[in-house]
Amino acid sequence: MAKSSGINPELLLSQKLPEKTFTYTERDAAIYALGVGACGRDAVDADELKYVYHENGQQFIQVLPTFSALFSFELEPSGAIDLPGLQHDPRLLLHGQQYMELYKPFPSSASIRNEACIAGLHDKGKAAILEIETKSYNAESGELLCMNRMTAFLRGAGGFSNSSQPFSYSKYQTIPVSVVKIPKSQPFAVFEDYTQPSQACSIKFHYCWNSKFFIFELLC
């Protein structure tokens, strides 16, 4: 495979990413909840109001778990990934996947200390896949709150392998996944939801549960 000058895997994987701090307030958490649709259909919905308002004070509001995806944005606030050994066109970068593990409920406001590392690098020929893992700690208590793993699909940055075998590095052992067969039986429960007209697009979500499977559909 022809070598590309875009990525030097040895140099890139040797990098130690700097620690960063992300600070948020009750207002930030509430605005995020409103942005993803909380109380969009019913301003006093008891299940959703707790994320934007509390009668005893905003310091008691709850924070949506997906808010943790914002913690690592402080690492690369411009949206580009600038690391030694990595040359790519930021205009061709795609956010491929966001994986998260949650360990503790998030405080309504906090200062978050982020420790990041490169968790994966894969040569896909015409593109490269870069995985960055971020562990987020409560800066005051030191408690580990969550872990985010962001996958970036870098178009045009592949072809950097030195041998016929494409370069592939992962911090974690790959576990084979068996093929999932969708059951033909009717689900035990069905729930439908949709985004609001005020949001970027209108999408209807269809969730089904049965004994072993959770099925999610987008009905545009």
Count the Cβ atoms, other than its own, within 10 Å of residue 25: 13
φ, ψ (nearest 5 deg) of residue 209? -125, 140
> Which SS3 state, helix, strand or coil, does residue 204 take?
strand
d(CA 113, CA 20): 6
All structural domains of the chain with their residue ranges: 18-172+195-207
In contact, 180 and 213? CB cutoff 8 Å: yes
Radius of gyration of the chain (CA): 21
Count of alpha carbons within 13 Å of 141, Cβ hemisphere only? 9
Whole-number percent of the chain with pLDDT over 90: 49
170 neighbors 119 (Cβ within 8 angstroms) = yes
Whole-structure pTM value? 0.76
211 to 15, 129, 184, 206: CA distances (angstroms): 45, 35, 12, 17
Binned at pLDDT 50, 70 and 90, residue 2 comes out as very low
Mean pLDDT lowest among 72-86, 99-113, 182-196: 72-86
**What pLDDT is stored for residue 191 in this prediction?**
74
For domain 18-172+195-207, give the CATH superfamily: Hotdog Thioesterase (3.10.129.10)
The answer to which of 48-62, 115-129, 166-180 has the lowest mean pLDDT is 166-180
Residue-wise pLDDT tens digits, 136-145: 999 999 999 9
- In single-letter form, the type of residue at position 143 comes to E
pLDDT tier, 163 (very low <50, low <70, confident <90, very high otherwise): confident
- Tokens read off for 147: 């872990």
Provide the residue count of the chain: 220
Among residues 30, 153, 159, the alpha carbon closest in space to that of 97 is found at 153
The DSSP letter of residue 46 is H
Which residues on adjacent β-strands are paired with residue 120?
A: 131, 170
> Do 150 and 134 touch, CB atoms closer than 8 A?
yes
Q: What average pLDDT is seen over the chain?
A: 83
